[in-house]
Amino acid sequence: MEENLSFPKKIGQRLRHDWTLLLLVTLIAVLGAVEGVSILATIGLWLLVIATVVTRAPVTVEVAGPAGNESNPDAEEDIVPALAAGFSALDVPVVLIASDASVVFRNEAAEKAFGDFPVGAHISSKLRSPVVLDMIRETIATRKPNQVEHAERLPSERVYVARIAPVGAENEAAPEALFALSFRDISELRMIDRMRSDFVANASHELRTPLASLRGFIETIQGPARDDPKAQERFLGIMLDQTTRMSRLVDDLLSLSRLELKSHIAPDQVVDVVPLLGHVRDSLMPLADEVGVEINLHLPDGKAEVRGDRDELVQVFENLVENACKYGQEGKVVDISVKNAPGQSVEVTIADKGPGIHAEHVPRLTERFYRVSVADSRSKKGTGLGLAIVKHILTRHRARLIVKSELGKGTAFTVRF
Ligand code: ADP
């Protein structure tokens, strides 16, 4: 406090603070003068004492913080509310336990993850995993931090790294030692790892099949069909199909990885979907004619603008209309409609009157390589990546894909911006 005062104010404050000492010194000086001590010596002494009072260092009183100091015997008890306040702010489950493994405190995240945690009860009343309990026992005995992996099945399947460490590890003599048990949720990391390895396995399998078939045909052309030009021509046709399928697959894989790279950047162009859908229909007319499907456009008057990337939106709608023509060809018609009601999100729906999709498949359609029927998809030149690409693009556009399907009646894919 004193640091912020001006110099004369500081002197005034100190003189006021030590007025009893100054009074005493003045009295001695007056008595000295009366008793015949040299007046100069008396004034000199008096000034020396005043100067000492004014220039000495300020007295400071240390106030113990919540962490306590050696002279505070209640430090251990004080530490719990302070730690509790800190841990309550975390969204990581944390449980404070005493050296008899009873629960001293648990934060809200711990209750959310593991249910009600009775304070005072032994930790094993809530966590029954022998690995975690062994770890706790060991740390209480050794005061050394430990961590293990712990899986929970209920209320939902999760994987955690459970870690325990003594609080204030340097205070070895503390009789009421506390230990912080925390849980790091690694379920998502595990899921991403699994998806990545499944994806690599699927992609290699998809490429290996046409490669094996190409190799077989080459060997046949070099061997038994060496002198059979008719068979050679037929085989070369199949080989061309297989290589086209491989390049489609590689194109789709590249498209997916490019989209993944920029998935966090939202597009910033303004795109009118009305002319864009006209363009999509025109580009798919040859396919529609080939499979005997009529594509009908139901567009509003005027514009239907959304924030997006034009090329990516073309890719989305080409994929959806192509699927509707291929998988819904029995219905003979595909309807493209746009809803642009004032104050509401723009919606584009692509509906076919095909066989529909069984409900159990619908939530998985956008997974990579997921197909209702692999044979059907292959015969229709599918890669199993089309809807995964659609989902990626729409995520980047902060748009939603809604699938409604009824067996025997058809399927409608709606993009809501
Ligand atoms: P593919 O390359 O196999 O077409 P997609 O990711 O585009 O891959 O589609 C995944 C699967 O979803 C398809 O194999 C098909 O079984 C199903 N599907 C997609 N659209 C439709 C539709 N309009 N009607 C019926 N099934 C569909």
Both 89 and 49 in one domain: the answer is no
Q: In what order do the strands lie in the sheet with 410-416?
A: 294-298, 333-339, 347-352, 410-416, 400-406
How close is the Cα of 264 to the center of ligand 1, in Å? 26
Q: Which helix (H) or strand (E) holds 49?
A: helix 39-55
Both 349 and 247 in one domain: the answer is no
Determine if ligand 1 sits within 6 Å of the CB of residue 412: no
Range(s) of the domain holding residue 31: 2-55
Size (the chain), residues: 417
d(CA 287, CA 337): 20
Question: Which pLDDT belongs to residue 46?
Answer: 72
What percent of the chain shows pLDDT beyond 70? Answer: 82
What percent of the chain shows pLDDT beyond 90? Answer: 62
Both 291 and 245 in one domain: the answer is no
Q: In this predicted structure, which of 5-9, 16-20, 290-294, 376-380 has the lowest mean pLDDT? A: 5-9
d(CA 296, CA 217): 42
Q: In this predicted structure, which of 42-46, 251-255, 369-373 has the lowest mean pLDDT? A: 42-46
How close is the Cα of 189 to the center of ligand 1, in Å? 28
Beta-sheet pairing, 400-406 with 294-298: unpaired
How close is the Cα of 212 to the center of ligand 1, in Å? 25
State the closest ligand 1 atom to the C-alpha of 410, by its place in the atom list counted from 1: 24
Check if the beta carbon of residue 310 is closer than 8 Å to that of residue 276.
yes
Both 278 and 369 in one domain: the answer is yes
Both 280 and 334 in one domain: the answer is yes
256-276 per-position pLDDT tens digit: 989 988 888 889 899 999 999
Check if the beta carbon of residue 104 is closer than 8 Å to that of residue 82.
no
Instruction: Please say if the pLDDT value at position 63 is more than 60.
Output: no
Is residue 269 helix, strand or coil?
strand
Residue 75 in any domain: the answer is no
Check if the beta carbon of residue 252 is closer than 8 Å to that of residue 203.
no
Structure letter (DSSP) for residue 342: T
Helix runs in 223-270, H state only: 229-261
Using the 3D structure, point to which of 132, 158, 185 is the last residue of a domain.
Answer: 185
The domain that contains 87 carries what CATH number?
Answer: 3.30.450.20
Residue the block writes with tokens 């076919």: 352
Q: Which residues of 27-45 are buried (b: 16+ CB within 10 A; e: fewer)?
A: eebeebeeeeeeeeebeee
Determine if ligand 1 sits within 6 Å of the CB of residue 368: no
Both 274 and 399 in one domain: the answer is yes
Determine which residue's CA is closest to atom 10 belonging to ligand 1.
371
Both 289 and 394 in one domain: the answer is yes
State the closest ligand 1 atom to the C-alpha of 320, by its place in the atom list counted from 1: 20
Nearest to 28 by CA among 42, 39, 41, 48: 42
Both 43 and 170 in one domain: the answer is no
Q: Which position has the higher pLDDT, 193 or 169?
A: 193
Check if the beta carbon of residue 183 is closer than 8 Å to that of residue 93.
yes
Both 282 and 372 in one domain: the answer is yes
How close is the Cα of 358 to the center of ligand 1, in Å? 12
Residue 145 in any domain: the answer is yes
Residue 150 in any domain: the answer is yes
Both 179 and 195 in one domain: the answer is no
Check if the beta carbon of residue 327 is closer than 8 Å to that of residue 354.
yes
Using the 3D structure, point to which of 185, 215, 231 is the last residue of a domain.
Answer: 185
d(CA 168, CA 162): 19
111-158 per-position pLDDT tens digit: 988 888 889 999 999 888 999 999 999 999 999 999 999 988 876 788
Q: In angstroms, how far is CA 228 from the centroid of its own chain?
A: 60
The domain that contains 367 carries what CATH number?
Answer: 3.30.565.10
Both 152 and 21 in one domain: the answer is no
Determine if ligand 1 sits within 6 Å of the CB of residue 166: no
Residue 87 in any domain: the answer is yes
